[in-house]
Amino acid sequence: MKLSVLLLFSLFASAALAADEDYAAMVELAWKRGCFNCHDVEQKVRGPAWRDVAVRYRDDETAFGRLIVTVRDGGRGNWGNDFMSPNRRVPEEDIKRLVAWLLTLESER
């Protein structure tokens, strides 16, 4: 019984650690690609907070594709009058990874 509890605890601890490492890796990628010039995870800077984006598009099955296009090509009108500059120099694979990650962020508000 004690061994089962210990193994279960280890499994959850490993999953939490992996999630933290993934989070840190994605934050590092976002810094590398210049995303934090206009965005933050928690609060609005020039663009919306990523947690707010995740909440808005939580149940939207088309969000992933649409956000990839917006990040790559820029856009206006999705968040008031704010304009998102195009990011055509960011590799498509990085854009996909970042969009997929930000859509998983849960609201802590």
Give the residue numbers of the binding site for heme c. Answer: 35, 39, 84
What are the tokens at 64?
Answer: 């992933």
Instruction: Return the structure tokens found at 82.
Output: 């704010």
Structure token pair of residue 95: 């854009």
Lookup result for tokens 């149940």: 59
State the binding site: 35, 39, 84
H or E segment at 76?
Answer: strand 75-76
